A and B are shown apart, each in its own frame.
Chain A
Amino acid sequence: MAQRLRVRYAKRGRLRFTSHRDISRAVERAVRRADVPVAFSAGFSPHPRISYVGAAAPTGVASEAEYLEIGVTRECDPDRFRAALDASLPHGLDVLDVVEAGAGSLADRLECSAWEIRLPEADPTLARVAVERFITTERVEVERLTKKGPRRFDAREAVLSLEVIEGTETTAGQASSQPCVILRMVVRHATPAVRPDDVLTGLRLVADFAPPVPPEVTRLAQGPLDVRTGKPADPFDLDRDSTRGGETEPVGQYVGGDL
């Protein structure tokens, strides 16, 4: 393996209905079509060295910030790699950013996610009341069906911020732009993961607030929590710093150039 590349990709539009397994098959095939020199594991049944970092956005949830790492057998230019993989993937699975992996684990940097929840036809006043009540409540116990059966956990503490804004509805395929309630929130990654639907469940529990039509959810960003903004920073910042000039340097070390 000559190089490890870190990839940020988006899951958009109708392709938000792909599951994590669907995406991993699609990426494997796209890599083959693009003739990317992907490395394979050794052994009896070799697998391409592609690993998905962080918790995948659930099926039905769009995302602007999913991450994977891919090992290649010869050095690749990240920008050309990005263009080639993007062209090979179906429209709606879009490759946004590629960097050469620096030191340190990418997974460790994905501390929190920023989410957007669009609620067409929802009442903005009720939404504000519900959000206010959610924020001022210390613990909001929700139950979700996990692979191990129903599980109860607190959906409140992991929510670092939650706000209501108003925008227009942009559901794919719909020409009309109705006013629409939008929730924006930053959630710390925890175990079990608090997902946007858990927060919606919480809003229903604390204020009986229930959206009339299925919400449209998008993950906007993932990364280390930037304490100044209260939002996730770009997790690739460290890679860009440490690999400047094409050479891997110890993480955090300033390697010159004007900043």
Chain B
Amino acid sequence: MSVESLFPRLEALLPKVQKPIQYVGGELNSTVKDWDETTVRWALMYPDAYEVGLPNQGVQILYEILNEMPETLAERTYAVWPDLEALMRSEGVPQFTVDAHRPVRAFDVFGLSFSTELGYTNMLTALDLAGIPLEAADRGEDDPIVLAGGHAAFNPEPVADFLDAAVLGDGEQIAIAITEVIREWKAEGSPGGRDELLMRLAESGGVYVPKFYDVDYHADGRIQRVAPNRSGVPWRVHKHTVMDLDEWPYPKKPLVPLAETVHERFSVEIFRGCTRGCRFCQAGMITRPVRERSITTIGDMVEAGVKASGFNEVGLLSLSSADHSEIGEVAKGLADRYEGTNTSLSLPSTRVDAFNIDLANEFSRNGRRSGLTFAPEGGSERMRKVINKMVTEEDLIRTVTTAYTQGWRQVKLYFMCGLPTEEDADVLGIADLAKKVIKAGREATGSRDVRCTVSIGGFVPKPHTPFQWAAQADHETVDRRLKALKDALRGDREYGRAIGLRYHDGKPSIVEGMLSRGDRRVGKVIRAVWEGGGRFDGWSEHFSYQRWMEAAAEAGVDVDWYTTREREENEILPWDHLDAGLDREWLWQDWQDAVNDVEVEDCRWTPCYDCGVCPTMGTEIQIGPTGKKLLPLTVV
């Protein structure tokens, strides 16, 4: 059965909406395949606006890998803004893909990549516009399998009612495996309907199918038990880990949009995973172990990607890029290659040490030295021990001073507020630190032309981290501390003007906290918020705290119970049956160490401390050095 393009019907609506180009598709390096020549078809969604979703690496990688497979088709879809949503509803135009403008409901799989929980309401909009029942239980044989991935999928329980399936971890290999399971099942004539397909996926152990698990609760609300409700379904579902990133050099052909997006650059992931052990960092915990891409593959990918895209900026991505074993060589090699070409290089620079400045200097060789970012995260020495961010005040001041003396005028410092055990003094410590930085900078440069910006995020405890048991700070406390910090900075005659402060109020973090550590009972809150008009919760102009609180109250969901309540060691957590590889006892021990200010080293350079990931997952640390160098590019 062929599927008609929705474009003619969409086209009539486009003159009436903002930034119509985002719905048009046709990006350079995008792919449109013949529907009838393929047997397994994926609609991939990043559940946010096109400008945010298009650059997403995860979606681009899967899009390319799936389209490289014969008889397989993948197209992309993004959240439509409310102006187009209203027109689509009144004109009966369903959720469409931007590649060939096909209706999402016609696909076999509707795959969503959740980087954050704040995309949940956008998923509901897309399902509803697509004509797919919101609840998995109401779906029929003609509906796609709704599949979630991405970091937020490590606890998909709050959206379990809306999902048919979820996968944890790296998507490359499991997307291919799922495709083959579907192909086989369809080739057999789809025996047993979608139920059997989901069963085949669940049996493999690599795909979580929420409806095959029952959750029982204690009278006090805690979870009593999560158990499979049919035989053949595994008790625990494991995450996926791609070993040898050199074998998966994606994206090879980056998508180049016509519309403006949030990242206008070609990004290469230089390694995956991080074992710095920052206790607040879910990404670092769930992506272990560290797997480096080799210097030569990085060089090849940059060369090919710049050629294929025409981007004038290359970003070297990872959770802590300065930690690549050959980052010095990578930086020098790329800077040499692109010197004088107007191709600039960027490194998300957050590590607090002098080496990071050397790298930044290398990368800004033919450009400007505008701003450098460091992330001490905690305002006091004690706080940094709690979160295992091993930076001393002395390190920080020395590093920033070095940056100032080498011509950097603007330094950005990242902190968090609301961390476990935090007291008012810890947050006020941020002001002291910032003042010391400016003072030292002025002395070292002999100039008053040095600035720093303090940027503060609210801490949200995340699943699969040592802080998964911690009480989240209530928003009143966070707001009070931020106000005190603001007063301490603004009121300072000597340094106040040299220090900028950026922060958000604490309310959105509470909603994020409920969604992060929520269980299946939170689903009805999400649905009620969406029904009440909730959309684009990651955007401050669309987010409504009041709407979330009212929906929770109406649904009988106690927000505090999910957020500001500390959990006991033995409480069954909603995601305990989902295995990120981390040993639960190790996580608990690390939580105890946190409270006692005990630090833990990085296992790349010190002996293994048994976090559990490598033996459980059959993986190992993959790092260089390879000893290789980047050769100059030959001029054609």
Contact = CB atoms under 8 A, between A and B. Distances in A.
A44 B364 CA distance: 12
Output the residue of B19, B24, B309, B636 with the most chain A CB within 10 A: B24
A131 B256 CA distance: 43
A40 interface: yes
Nearest to A88: B310
Contact of B16 (A25, A90, A214): A214
Please provide the 5 A-B residue pairs with the shortest distance between their CB atoms, ordered closest to farther.
Answer: A29-B310, A32-B310, A33-B310, A17-B20, A173-B8
A229 B312 CA distance: 45
6 contacts: A14-B26, A29-B256, A45-B368, A46-B342, A171-B8, A173-B8
A32 B25 CA distance: 22
Interface in A1-58: 14-15, 17-19, 21-22, 25-26, 28-33, 35, 40, 44-46, 48
Q: Which of A35, A60, A213 has the most CB of B within 10 A?
A: A60
A33 B19 CA distance: 25
A18 B258 contact: yes
Interface residues of A, number: 33
Contact of A40 (B25, B311, B342): B342
A45 B368 CA distance: 8
B9 to A, nearest CB: 9
Contact of B258 (A28, A35, A90, A171): A90
A73 interface: no
A168 to B, nearest CB: 15
Interface string B1-30: 000010110011011100111011111100
Nearest to B13: A214
Contacts, number: 77
A18 B21 contact: yes
Contact of B368 (A35, A44, A91): A44
A33 B26 contact: no
Given A17-B20, A29-B309, A171-B11, 15 more contacts: A14-B24, A15-B21, A22-B21, A22-B258, A29-B256, A29-B310, A60-B14, A60-B20, A90-B28, A90-B258, A173-B7, A173-B8, A173-B11, A213-B12, A214-B12
Contacts of A60: 14-15, 20
Contacts of A253: none
B71 interface: no
Contacts of A90: 26-28, 258
A228 to B, nearest CB: 36
A179 interface: no
Interface string B251-274: 000001011100010000000000
A136 interface: no
A210 to B, nearest CB: 14
Contacts of A173: 5, 7-8, 11
B309 to A, nearest CB: 7
Contacts of A40: 342
B307 A25 contact: no
Interface string B280-312: 000000000000000000000000000111111
A92 interface: yes
Interface residues of B, number: 32
Nearest to A33: B310
Contact of A30 (B7, B21, B310, B636): B310
B260 A32 contact: no
Interface in B564-589: none
B81 to A, nearest CB: 14
Contacts of A174: 8
Nearest to A172: B11
A59 interface: yes
A26 B21 CA distance: 13
B418 to A, nearest CB: 38
Given A19-B21, A22-B258, A91 B12 contact: no
Nearest to B14: A17
B28 A22 contact: no
Given A173-B11, A214-B15, A15 B258 contact: yes
Contacts of B25: 14
Nearest to A19: B21
Which of A26, A45, A173, A174 has the most chain B CB atoms inside 10 A of its CB? A173
Contacts of B368: 44-45
Interface string B51-87: 0000000000000000000000000000000000000
B319 to A, nearest CB: 29
A181 to B, nearest CB: 17
Nearest to B19: A19
Nearest to A59: B20
Interface string A183-211: 00000000000000000000000000000
A32 B20 CA distance: 26
A17 B24 contact: yes
A159 to B, nearest CB: 22
Interface hub of A14, A26, A213, A214 (most chain B Cβ within 10 A): A14
Contacts of A21: 260
Contacts of B259: 22
A91 B32 CA distance: 14
B8 A91 contact: no
A60 B12 CA distance: 11
Contact of A28 (B12, B20, B312): B312
A88 B15 CA distance: 27
Residue picked from B256, B307, B308, most chain A C-beta under 10 Å: B256
A174 B7 CA distance: 9
A32 B306 CA distance: 9
B434 to A, nearest CB: 28
A150 to B, nearest CB: 19
Nearest to B4: A173
A8 to B, nearest CB: 20
Contacts of B24: 14-15, 17
Contact of A14 (B11, B264, B311): B11
Interface string A49-90: 000000000011000000000000000000000000000101
Nearest to B259: A22
Contacts of B16: 214
Q: Which of A25, A28, A44, A174 lies at the interface centre, i.e. has the most chain B CB atoms within 10 A of its CB?
A: A25
